[in-house]
């Protein structure tokens, strides 16, 4: 691992019992505040998919930050996948389960049919959020060119749900 990525990984904090008891939250805000670490991680998020996507989509909320930065790094546009009720004209919605509840995400249909989208989020845990993101993208006639996450928490079954994906950092 290159030194900038190793440093970036060291900036991710683990916060126990947030947002509720029993959850170990991965806080990436120190990484986001460090320009070199953020740049190294966004390069690592897009590198395996270089040339295979037209836009980057990010899942609200921390996925927005990483996907927006990754889109700039790759020289492509950014598409938000938002929580229910946040888009003015959602074209598709998907309900999914979280580790600690349920949620709904929505997406616009502003892109040409067949657009290749790199889907990015911050953490892969159980896979529910990314599976919903993939479903909403495909339901609108777009192609998921790849899925990339900053941090994978192994042992929670997310990879079994998502299948092939790229992770920058892993933890058990």
Quote the Cα angle for 164-56-26, to 5°: 65
Measured between alpha carbons, how far is 152 from 170 in angstroms, rounded to an integer?
5
Contacts with 32 (C-beta within 8 Å, 6 or more apart), sequence order: 38, 65
Q: Which of 99, 116, 138, 159 is catalytic?
A: 99
How many C-beta atoms surround the C-beta of residue 128 within 10 A? 20
Q: Which of 62, 82, 134, 152 is catalytic?
A: 62
62 is catalytic: yes
Catalytically active residues are 62, 99
């Amino acid at each position: 691992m290159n030194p900038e990525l190793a440093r970036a990984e060291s900036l991710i904090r683990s916060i126990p019992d947030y947002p509720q008891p029993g959850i170990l939250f991965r806080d990436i805000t120190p990484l986001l505040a460090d320009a070199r670490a953020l740049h190294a991680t966004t390069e690592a998020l897009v590198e395996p998919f270089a040339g295979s996507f037209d836009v980057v989509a990010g899942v609200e909320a921390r996925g927005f930050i990483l996907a927006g930065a990754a889109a700039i790094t790759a020289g492509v546009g950014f598409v938000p996948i938002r929580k229910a009720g946040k888009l003015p004209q959602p074209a598709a919605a998907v309900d999914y389960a979280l580790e600690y509840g349920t949620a709904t995400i929505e997406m616009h249909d502003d892109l040409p049919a067949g657009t290749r989208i790199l889907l990015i989020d911050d953490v892969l845990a159980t896979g529910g959020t990314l599976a919903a993101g993939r479903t909403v993208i495909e339901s609108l006639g777009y192609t998921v060119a790849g899925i990339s996450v900053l941090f994978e928490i192994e042992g929670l079954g997310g990879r079994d749900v998502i299948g092939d994906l790229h992770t920058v950092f892993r933890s058990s």
